[in-house]
Amino acid sequence: TQSYFWSDFTAAKPRVPQLDGPRGQGTVAMATHLQVGRRGTYFCDPWRVGIVQSDGIVKTLAGYRHKPTPSFYSGPQELELVGDWGAIPSERRGFHELWGMAWDPRTLGTSTTAPPIEGEQPHVLGPTAFVADTQNNRICKLVFSPTSRDAPPKVTEFIVGISDPWDCVCDEGGTLYVSERLSHRIVAYNGTTGALIRVVVSGPNMSGINGSRQPFRRNPLVTVQAQTCVGPEGLYLQDGWLYFGSRAMEPVSY
């Protein structure tokens, strides 16, 4: 099979290779999010959060990875779940179709007085990331160690019961914005407590999701584009403006 098959992309467990290691061994397939950081390029695919380090090494930070080289497509997949998932019931562990990821800027500061670790100043707080776990209808929170790169992040369910969350961004003050595709709205949450702050924008139910998890319009395009917000997906925060994309609407709006 080919790696562009939507049935693979939207499956609960990966069949495409999810391997850690150096160039020639580590793999990144079906990436949904890329973000350049100080240590390399962070990425999401439907089942994990990871980093491609500046030396080319691929490392899974949280989620599923293959232990050995994966078997053939139809064979058994020997997977392990990376991260500290102890706070989540066993039946809800693991990601299912990740799209968006956002760091909490409040947690990224480093100490100017503590001794360096591996040549870099340690963080004051544990760096925290949020991910939109779309098919599990939740935002998960990943809290990393402030002093160790080897310690697995603690994964918790931060916001649950939302409808098809697609992306998330966090501003400097700790407000977390989430696009909820099947609720046709973008919502602001408290990045510390998860409490609802306000609905930023919302619109009518003029799009849905088909069996391949792709959006379709319930009304003509011109009617959908006349609305404020239908099926919001990707988010981007820049210069005080929140931009969002929608395949159902087709433009980028703000």
> 33-53, pLDDT tens digit by residue?
999 988 899 999 999 999 999
Handedness of CA 196, 103, 168, 243 (dihedral sign): positive
Phi-psi region of 112 (alpha: psi -120 to 50; beta: other; left: phi over 0): alpha
- The residues facing 189 across adjacent strands are 176, 196
Which pTM was predicted? 0.93
> 162-190, pLDDT tens digit by residue?
999 999 999 999 999 999 999 999 999 99
Does the pLDDT value for residue 2 go beyond 70?
no
Going from the C-alpha of 97 to that of each of 82, 119, 191, 213, the distances in angstroms are 16, 35, 22, 10
- For 88, other C-beta atoms within 10 Å of its C-beta total 16
For the segment 243-247, the average pLDDT, to the nearest whole number, is 97
Give the C-alpha separation, 241 to 249, whole Å.
19
